[in-house]
Structure 1
Amino acid sequence: MMRYRSFSDVVEDVRNKKPIRMSIAAAHDLAVLEAVKEAAGLGIIEPILIGDEKQIKQMSGLMDFRVEDFKVIHTDTDEQASHTAAKLASEGKVQAIMKGLVNTTPFLKGILNKELSLRTGRIFSHLSAFEIPGTGQLLFMTDGGINIAPDYCQKKQIVLNALEFLDKVGIACPRTAILAANELVMETMPVTCEAGRLVAELKAEYSKPLLIEGPLPLDLAISKESLLHKGIESSLEGRADLLIVPTIEAGNIFGKAITYYAHGTMAGIVLGARVPLVLNSRSDSAKAKLASIALAVAAASNAAIPV
């Protein structure tokens, strides 16, 4: 059973694997090219840079990035770049896709194109990973980035997306907490009822070992001291690997609190397509961008994608 302690662990893990091919949609962006350069230099990806070829080469020259060593595909628009990146994945020519200087909506539109074969029938969801000082392990959370108001069936798919990702990166029997404001199922608090149902169904249906509890407030999911203080027994032992938030607002606030108050680093990828998608914010640090690429590599390295 493996637990990543830090993003450095993820990078070192994937450096021992064969590099994957990754298409970068609208790669004409300095921050994106810097992350791609570092990942390529570490030998974890072979990038295909898609977008304004002239800008890509000019920007690469500023950072001494030899793009001549990799394939560059010129496109005139962001929509064309997104479609091309997705088409390469659909044809099995790349194993992951990264968003460059293109808005999320046109980027995902390219992925969802019905003419391509990247849909799995499952909802797209955002999975965050946090490196938090003093904790000694990476913490995962979903979905604080894409789905605004998922219904019960969608939320179940969001959980399954995350569980399957953790399995791909080698985290066996993930300790999963369905978060709410109370550990008791109460009809007056519908989120707790939903959490209880999710736990019951996933325990019965999930095909691999799984420790899952809910509803659980955050303190009981991540603090053994809180469990002892409240006299509550938990198979998670206050050491959750994966937190399932009830709403996008809860996930968004949680993620930014970790980043700004706890000085943590957040990486993230989008799950639900046939290949992992890297969607970083322009404000993300270089470390966060590299960590997101490494997480995608860890998942794609174990995915059955035809090449």
Structure 2
Amino acid sequence: MFRSLKEVIHAAGAGEPARVAVAQAADPEVLAAVAEARRLGLAEGVLCGEPAAVEAALREIGEDPAHYSIVPAADPAESAVRAVAAVNAGEADFLMKGLLPTATFLHPVLDKEKGLRTGRLISQISIFDWAEAEKLLLITDCAINIAPDLKQKKAILENALAVAHALGIEEPRVAPLAALEFVNPDMPETLDAAALAKMADRGELRGAVVDGPLALDNAVSPEAARHKGIGGPVAGRADIILTPDMKTGNVLHKALVHFAHFRCAAAVVGARVPLVMTSRSDSADAKLCSIALAGLLARRR
């Protein structure tokens, strides 16, 4: 079981480097992360975009374009199509978003004929180094599904369980998050949390222990759970936080990064290969960790 992102990076670099297809790759910040991943043996870059612009961006960060495969594309939309085509042709193992809008990046991924659909919902998952607990903490969904219903939450959780299992967490403890730790009919997220816990009890969510609703303090702090008299197999020991909506996940992700300074990685899962969709405000280390995570997931799918 992986207990830190350092261990994830080490494992990602232990075999043959993965191949990452970067859509609209002429972004020095993204290319710097790809270049560092190449130096560490994590990934080789398949860079999609206007060749002169990609080569100029590589030289800007001191990289030799000869070390990379450059796939010509005239504009952002075509670069995303070319990146997906590289995966379909077996020339890349996962995708990374460069300098283009998220909707443009995802459009060819979700194409019914030539895309990377699996029939599953796609969702985002954040992986945090929780040094104090000496383990990884998974939070989902922080970036894709705005206000998921119960069916979508089940699908998001199934995606998260696949990631947790790939990270060696055999039976992750899942806390469906709410503001309260008891069911309140006026708060639909508490009803969804209780339903998910019952699904797990009945074997509909295999390879997990689910209990909720739980408030954040009761999910991650044994002391808080004891103080409030909350028992159960998850209270104070959650491995996966299932957020009630995207805004909650987004705020929680950014709070851990910017206030608590947790090291993090993130991926979008549910497609045929992992997707790296880092923000321009993400640190170089977060981009590198995300490449390592996606490479590891691609290898273990």
Q: When the two structures are superposed, what TM-score results if normalisation uses the length of structure 1?
A: 0.93
| Counterpart contact for 2:199–2:205, Cα < 8 Å | no
Cα distance per residue 1:58-93 (max 9 Å; x no partner):
221232223312211111100000001011112332
| Counterpart contact for 2:200–2:206, Cα < 8 Å | no
Cα root mean square deviation, aligned: 1.6
Alpha-carbon distance, 1:204 to partner: 2.3
Residue 248 of structure 1 aligns with an amino acid whose one-letter code is M
- Please point out which of 18, 40, 43 is paired with 2:41: 43
199-208 or 12-21: which moved more?
A: 199-208
What's the % identity of the aligned pairs? 39
- Are the structure 2 counterparts of residues 133 and 260 from structure 1 closer, same or farther at C-alpha, using a change threshold of 3 Å? farther
Secondary structure of the residue that 1:120 maps to in structure 2?
coil
Partner of 1:98: 96
Instruction: Summarize the alignment of residues 138-287 of structure 1 with structure 2, pairs less than 5 Å apart.
Output: 138-206=136-204, 208-236=206-234, 238-287=236-285
Distance 2:206 2:15 in 1: 24
Alpha-carbon distance, 1:235 to partner: 1.1
Secondary structure of the residue that 2:174 maps to in structure 1?
strand
Distance 2:297 2:114 in 1: 21
| Counterpart contact for 2:19–2:94, Cα < 8 Å | yes
- Are the structure 2 counterparts of residues 199 and 95 from structure 1 closer, same or farther at C-alpha, using a change threshold of 3 Å? same
Distance 2:261 2:40 in 1: 26
Secondary structure of the residue that 1:176 maps to in structure 2?
strand
Cα distance per residue 1:256-305 (max 9 Å; x no partner):
211222122332111110000000000110000001111101101112xx
- Please point out which of 289, 292, 301 is paired with 2:287: 289
Secondary structure of the residue that 1:48 maps to in structure 2?
strand
| Counterpart contact for 2:2–2:167, Cα < 8 Å | no
133-142 or 81-90: which moved more?
A: 133-142
- Are the structure 2 counterparts of residues 178 and 207 from structure 1 closer, same or farther at C-alpha, using a change threshold of 3 Å? closer
Partner of 2:87: 89
Residue 203 of structure 1 aligns with an amino acid whose one-letter code is D
- Are the structure 2 counterparts of residues 237 and 178 from structure 1 closer, same or farther at C-alpha, using a change threshold of 3 Å? closer
Secondary structure of the residue that 1:258 maps to in structure 2?
helix
| Counterpart contact for 1:178–1:216, Cα < 8 Å | yes
| Counterpart contact for 1:126–1:270, Cα < 8 Å | yes
| Counterpart contact for 1:17–1:301, Cα < 8 Å | no
Count of aligned positions? 301
Partner of 2:59: 61
Residue 71 of structure 2 aligns with an amino acid whose one-letter code is I
Secondary structure of the residue that 1:290 maps to in structure 2?
helix
Which aligned runs of 4 or more in structure 1 are off by greater than 3 angstroms? 132-135, 205-208
| Counterpart contact for 2:2–2:8, Cα < 8 Å | no
| Counterpart contact for 1:203–1:210, Cα < 8 Å | no
- Identify unmatched segments of 5+ residues in structure 2: none
Residue 230 of structure 1 aligns with an amino acid whose one-letter code is K
Distance 1:169 1:300 in 2: 12
Alpha-carbon distance, 1:124 to partner: 1.4
Partner of 1:18: 16
